[in-house]
Every structure is written in C-alpha cells, then in structure tokens.
Structure 1
C-alpha cells in the first residue's frame, strides 16, 4: 500500500495544496497536519475585521469534508526522518510518499518587549481575539513596525477611535518593500487619519508595574502605551526541520520547481520556502498570501504531472486595506528602480521601472489599473519559466 501524500501546515498554502490536488483528479490518500486547533481559517482578516469587531471569526479557508483529506488539527510536526520517509509529530510519526512543507512563519520577537503583559504579536486567531479584547478598553496603542501588518493594526485601532502611534526603525514606512514615493504616500494616509508616525526610532524598553504603561525609544522619548503590538517581520517556522538533512537558509532552500534541496519528493511552499526565482535570478522568500496560493497550485501540478512550467514564478502581488484605502502592489522594487506617479479616477498609481523596463506597480484605490499591469508582468515572466525546461 502506497504511503499518503502529507501536507504539513493548515494555512492558505497547505489547504490550497489539498484543493488543487483534488481539483486535478488526484485520488491518492492525503493527510493534512495542522498545528492549530479547529478548522483552517483565512488569516488576512485577523488584522482587520477581527480587530474592529466587524467579524467574530475569520472566514473558513475551505470545507475539508468534500476533499477526502485526513485532517489532523492540533498536531505539531516535531521532526523529519527522510531515510524512513516519516514525519515525526508530537504523538508519533506518519509515513509519507510525498511531502509538502507549508508550516509558514512565526512573528519575529523583540527582546525589549518580551515578558511584558500588554505586549502582543499577531499571527493566529487566538492572538487576534486577545488583542481585540484589549481594544475594548480604549487603550493607548503603540505599534512597533511600519510594514503591512503594522499598518493594518494601526488602521483598525484608529477605526475604533483609539490613540495610535507607529514606531518604525527604518527611515520610512515599508522601506524594505517600497520606494520612498510610496512610503510617503502611506505615511500621509496614516497621518491624515490621526495616526502618529515616528520613523528612524527603535524601542529600547518598557516601563510599568503589573503591565506595560509606556515604551522608551532610543532617543530618550517615552510614549505612553497601554497596549503594544509588535509587527517587525517574521522568521520561517522551520526549526522542527533542524538536523533533517534539508538545507535551511532563511527557509527551506528549494530549486526553481519548489523541490527541497536534499530530498526527493519533498517540496516547500509559502512563508517557509526560499526558492530560486528564475525571473529575479536569485533565491527569494515571499510572505504573501497570493504567492502561497500560487505555489500550492504549482506544486500540485508537479505532483500530478501537469505543471504549467518547469519553474515557479510569481508577480509578487500583495494587497493591504488601511483606513478604507485598498493598497495593491505587484512586481519588484530595488535600488535600481525609478518610480513615477500617475493619477487615476479617484486613486493613484505608481509605476516602477528598471531603465526602460516596467518591473512593478503600486496602486491606491486603482484596482483595475493594477490588474492590467499585473497581467503584463505575468506575461513577461512566462518565457523565462518555460526556458528552464531545456
């Protein structure tokens, strides 16, 4: 009897893998191992609708009952025996014929904030429920980190009328992802909605008695705070793979087809994967919901033998809703790119070029314009992924 295909991780990448396999007619047994309890849910709502109270629960990712999958919630993967082809868990081991690793990532922790009551990290349904309960007391909120998650938390808190300050260590918001023109637009959006923004500052410690009452910055400034939310990035959830024989380097190192280095019949997708991108010509790790879904569909195609190309590629689409504005981005931005701004009907579009080549676009309330550029970038990438077949 053939061992099942095992998918580790019950977030968007893992669940989409199961869906895509079944949609392609895959009839072999599938086991879905998920560390979180309960049915799988969609995480983008955690920093928005759940925090504002617009929804009591995040939406379900899928109805697993129709997918003929052996779902094992509340079960953590603790190790991997490649020689025996067994996944080690907290309650034994599971044999596998093929393995898809989709364990995601964990919030990067800030030592200056650890051990303080009132300090929150946002990654799970339980995290969001805890933070939502704090927000009902109308606290003063300090958000550490000016990325997309931090911006969404700040937006949700302001929607509830809370006093909010964003503290960002970089000289500007979204500095790792966006050019200065886009960063300035995002900062203006926050300030227009009453958020205090402090860039180029780091949190060095907390003050308080039973819980946090203030945070201290590196310039000596003290900010009153009843609640602190840290959103300073993530690290791949791959510690359980240490010593397994897989190559770990800011994620599971993979080839262009997302196959894990050091093993046959093993793939990594989503936040925990670091794969060689033939378009960008370097290893990359993407923490985007859309990329995770795309990778899951690609690997499902590899497993059943109908992958659309020899190498996975993505336009890197990401979106964020902040203060009622839909922010969308596609493509890449780096030191070599230049940015220009184009007004649209009620919105704004930024185009990013590397020389004469269009390499990215960012839209503020301009979804149709963004979609056109997303399709254009996808078409440009297709010949590169096909070329690797030879």
Structure 2
C-alpha cells in the first residue's frame, strides 16, 4: 500500500520525472486486509490494487527484492541487479515475527502475504485442528475465519489478556468472552515452550500442556523490514524502524521512508509513533509525494507538508467491528461509554480532560466524531461523554 500509493500520489501531485516501483514478490501489488478475510476464506482469489501502472507511466518491477542501499553510488542492490535513483522512498513494510525453531516444523504458518493466505486455505477447507499462537489482531481474525469454517481452534497467548500489545487489560478483558462465544478455546498467561513435528502433540506449552494440531498459525507481532539497510547510514530506532522526521525524510539526503517500516515524531502526542496499520500506509504517501514534488521545484503542492495523523485501525472479529482511533498512554483517564458485555460499547482515554484515543465496538459514529475531537484537542464533559445515548460530539466543551 505505502509504495504503490507513493507512486500514485507522485503522479497526482505533478511529479515530472520517472517513477519506478520495486517489489520483492512476483504478484502484482495487493491489499493486505482481505488476506485474513475474503482471500483466506476463498471468497476472493486476490486483492490486487486497481491501478493502471502503464497509464501512469510507473515502471513496476516485480521480483526485485532489495538487499542493500548504497547512498554514495545512489543505488539500491536488488536480486536482479543494482537500480540507480535520484530520490528514494523506503516502503519495505514489516515482516512477521516467527517462533524460534518453527522453520524446521511442518504445518507452521504465518499470515502476512498472499502466498501465506493461499497456503492456509486448505486448513480451513479441510477443517483441520488449529492452534493459534498470539491473541492479537491477526490471531483473532484467523480464529474467526477458522471457526466459521468449522475448524477446532485453540488460541495461546503469553500475556494475561488478548490484544495485550495494543490495549490495556481493562479494555481487552471483555473480549475474552468473544472466543468462547464462537467456540474457540483461549489460553492466556502461558507461553509456547516448543513445537513438535507430531500432529498429535504439536504444541508444548511452558506449563507442560501439550496441544494437538494439524496446523499452527503464529501471530506474535511484526517488525520493520529494515535489516537490508545495515551499513547504509540510514538511522534506525531501537525497534528497528527508520527514524523519519515530520516530513518522512530519513537521515540520508534524498531518501524518504513511509508505512510500516518508518516511525515519525508526533507533535500531537509528544512522542515518536510506529503505526503498523493500513491507514498509515494510505495517508503517509501524500506527505512524501508533496515533499518530493516540492524539492523538485514545483510551485504548488497538493499534499500536506508535515505528517502528524490521528492513528486509526480496525478489525473484524467474532462478528464484531472493532475500531481504534488516536493513541493512549499510561496515566490517561479511562472513561466507558456503554456496557462492555453488550453488543456495542466504547472506551475513551482522556489526557488533561481532552480526548486522546477511543476504542469502539459496533459504534462507528463514536469513531468518526472522536477522530474530529482528537484533532481539535477538545476537552469533554465527562458525564455527557459517559452516556452512550449522547452523541460524543455533544460532550465537547466550548471555550469562550
């Protein structure tokens, strides 16, 4: 998404020169969210972007995985040979984290690429026994698809609650019941000790429990795909992300970074953000293209100059539409809108009385209104905000 959108935005904003897109995969560029939904279930064969690269004069080179960046030569090395550049945009995304030793065990899967989804289709079609390692977004979405297909499902999570890396326990705890409702077993607070090749005893847990499985799906997070930048001079954060500035420029001249591989400073939240979600890969390219077009001497820029979005992501799981907007931190005040055991509810996080983040289950209006309130840094009337019958925008306090 980030690479393709950058190329499209360059053309839409008036970039006059050549545009080349390098892709490691041989498939035409595709969207990721459908992989854990329609593509996985077999309802769609793929999710290729509807982009006419030829009409936009974009040189799309597939099977060109990058292996090194050499700024002095203004080249990137690829599997098909070096490629020169005048300006370079890093959009290599993220790679899933694998369990140690899992490469040597048959029947262990990741879910990040189209090939991954296609390899997992027979698991659902044949209703095989599945153990999912990790109760994050991918784990929950795969559990949903597997249960809909009729697979026996056990989900193992080392943390005490699902979505531990994204949400505090008070917000994710109500989601435990969703697994039971759909017939999936959720085991929390226990890690995987090792994997075995025997389907009858596939997954050994740290507490000694052994779980049978015909397939194991690992969803324990992702890390920026930046290992190929070693020795390039591009500065990286401790989490491995490219240290981009507010215009998504890197520490190397004429090199930008966007999407899952890059973190950026947020003046809104007073910290650097690394956002591994679709919305970030969609909107960041507008800033990159604006910077590149401006650097090329164009008088008018069609995009914003500084990137400081209100982060947003969503997930469809267990018959529910879950959305999150903003960013919350320790010490933020928690305010509930509705009963978390009901079909629809929201959680607000306030900082100094203003809305900083919101999680909504089945309440899309709260998300739409909450996003605007976050952008405005609007303080809220707590009593009104806590009433789910009151539109969230009505809880905003006006100042003289």
Same fold (TM over 0.5): yes
Residues in 1 aligned to 2:90 and 2:206: alpha-carbon distance in whole angstroms: 39
For residue 232 of structure 2, the aligned residue among 235, 244, 268 is: 244
Residues in 1 aligned to 2:2 and 2:304: alpha-carbon distance in whole angstroms: 19
Q: Which residue of 2 aligns with 1:385?
A: none
Q: Which residue of 1 aligns with 2:315?
A: 320
Q: Which residue of 2 aligns with 1:329?
A: 324
Quote the offset at 1:229 in angstroms: 0.3
User: Aligned ranges for residues 159-174 of structure 1 at < 5 Å?
Assistant: 159-174=148-163
Quote the offset at 1:343 in angstroms: 3.0
Q: Which runs of 5 or more structure 1 residues have no equivalent in the other structure?
A: 1-11, 382-390
1:356 aligns with 2:345: no
Normalising to structure 1: TM-score of the pair?
Answer: 0.90
User: Aligned ranges for residues 252-267 of structure 1 at < 5 Å?
Assistant: 252-261=242-251, 263-267=252-256
Residues in 2 aligned to 1:27 and 1:207: alpha-carbon distance in whole angstroms: 56
1:15 aligns with 2:4: yes
Quote the offset at 1:58 in angstroms: 2.3
Secondary structure of the 1:198 match is: strand
User: Aligned ranges for residues 93-242 of structure 1 at < 5 Å?
Assistant: 93-209=82-198, 213-242=201-230
Q: Which residue of 1 aligns with 2:37?
A: 48
Quote the offset at 1:367 in angstroms: 1.1
1:89-109 residue CA offsets vs partner (Å, 9 max, x unmatched): 122212111100000011111
Residues in 1 aligned to 2:318 and 2:224: alpha-carbon distance in whole angstroms: 29
Residues in 2 aligned to 1:287 and 1:34: alpha-carbon distance in whole angstroms: 19
Q: Which residue of 1 aligns with 2:381?
A: none
> Cα 1:61–1:280, aligned 2, differ >3 Å: closer, same or farther?
farther
Asked if structure 2 preserves the Cα contact closer than 8 Å seen for 1:120 and 1:127, the reply is yes
Q: Which residue of 2 aligns with 1:375?
A: 372
Q: Which runs of 5 or more structure 2 residues have no equivalent in the other structure?
A: 295-300, 379-400
1:293-337 residue CA offsets vs partner (Å, 9 max, x unmatched): 111111111111227555311111000011221100001122212
Quote the offset at 1:137 in angstroms: 2.0
1:92 aligns with 2:92: no
Between 37-46 and 331-340, report the one with greater CA deviation: 331-340
> Cα 1:245–1:212, aligned 2, differ >3 Å: closer, same or farther?
farther
Asked if structure 2 preserves the Cα contact closer than 8 Å seen for 1:337 and 1:352, the reply is yes
1:98-128 residue CA offsets vs partner (Å, 9 max, x unmatched): 1000000111111143311110011110010
Secondary structure of the 1:66 match is: coil
1:71 aligns with 2:26: no
> Cα 1:99–1:50, aligned 2, differ >3 Å: closer, same or farther?
same
Asked if structure 2 preserves the Cα contact closer than 8 Å seen for 1:142 and 1:229, the reply is yes
- Higher relative strand content: 1
How many residue pairs match? The answer is: 368
Report the aligned-residue RMSD. 1.9
> Cα 1:59–1:363, aligned 2, differ >3 Å: closer, same or farther?
farther
Q: Which residue of 1 aligns with 2:281?
A: 292
Quote the offset at 1:208 in angstroms: 3.6
